[in-house]
Amino acid sequence: MKRLFNRFRWVILLLVFFGVVAGGYHYIYNYRMDGEKIVERALRNGTRLKSYYSSLEIIPEGIEARRYFVQTWFLAPARYRVEVFTSYIGEGSPTQVFISDGERRWIYSPEVEDYYLLNPLSNGNMSASPFLLTSFLEQLAKAREVELLGIEKQDKRSYYLLKIFPQTVSRGYAWEKVWLEKRTLLPVKIQVYDEQDHLCQTITFKKIDLNPDLTEDTFRIDAAFFRKTLYSSN
């Protein structure tokens, strides 16, 4: 038996080697495919999104980086209001307010108490709109590649950990690491990396309320109305 093994050991070793390689390929391929399936499910859920409120925290990396706090109201198909703070939400006024009535986009500056027209929406494209969950889903749909890194459990909840490569790489934005909650398939945390795999910023969703009742007044484009409602929160 020993003599027979010695005679065919290279054949056996080659079979083991190719088995390991094939198994590894199968593992990687299925992880990638599973990542794509998770994205497909998240996008399907996104199409059913009629309205939402969210608050999030943005931490840029850098010596002089400062935190930003953002709250957003969205009403399908294209109405939104985004308030950006440099302090915690509810402490002081926002530094900028972005607002859309569904056809036009505006930015309001509390410092000068005036608002400015931005480029109009084109074909309902929200990808250029800041800090929107719908923008995140659009970029997810256009991703060049999605890889499932694994599943993490924290605070009795489970999250899909995805590595996402955007369709177009820009300076300071080469890929993302995204935590999606398994139950809702909503993002909980996003880390953005540059071409050298350096962390550029971390976005953490503190709260997401799905399908709240929102009125058209939330998305009015009127400077006086902005001043009256500047300190409002959900």
- CATH number, domain of 125, equals 2.50.20.10
Q: Is residue 29 part of a domain?
A: no
Q: How far apart are alpha carbons 115 and 118 in whole angstroms?
A: 10
Token couple for 91: 């402490």
Residue 124 has pLDDT above 70, yes or no: no
Answer yes or no: is 12 within a domain.
no
Total domain count for the chain? 1
The span from the CA of 29 to the CA of 23, in Å, is: 10
Task: With beta carbons less than 8 A apart as the criterion, state whether 191 and 179 touch.
Answer: no
The average pLDDT across 87-114 equals: 80
pTM: 0.75
177-185: average pLDDT? 94
Instruction: List the one residue out of 174, 146, 172, 145 whose CA is nearest residue 161.
Output: 146
Q: What angle, 0 to 180 degrees and rounded to 10, lies between the N-to-C axes of helices 2-47 and 133-141? A: 140
How far apart (Å, rounded) are the C-alpha atoms in residues 10 and 42? 48
Lowest-confidence region among 108-117, 170-179, 219-228? 219-228
> 218 lies in a domain?
yes
Segments forming the whole domain that contains residue 79 = 44-229
Integer angstrom CA distances of residue 42 from 69, 103, 126, 134: 25, 26, 17, 11
Indicate the range of 39-43, 79-83, 221-225, 229-233 predicted with least confidence: 229-233
Asked if residue 148 is part of any domain, the answer here is yes
DSSP state of 120: P
What letter represents residue 228's amino acid? Answer: K
The arithmetic mean of pLDDT across residues 67-95, rounded, is: 87
Residue range 103-112, pLDDT digits in tens: 888 888 777 6
Alpha carbon distance 34, 180 (integer Å): 13
- Does the pLDDT at position 148 exceed 90? yes
Question: Phi and psi dihedrals of 185, rounded to 5?
Answer: 60, 30
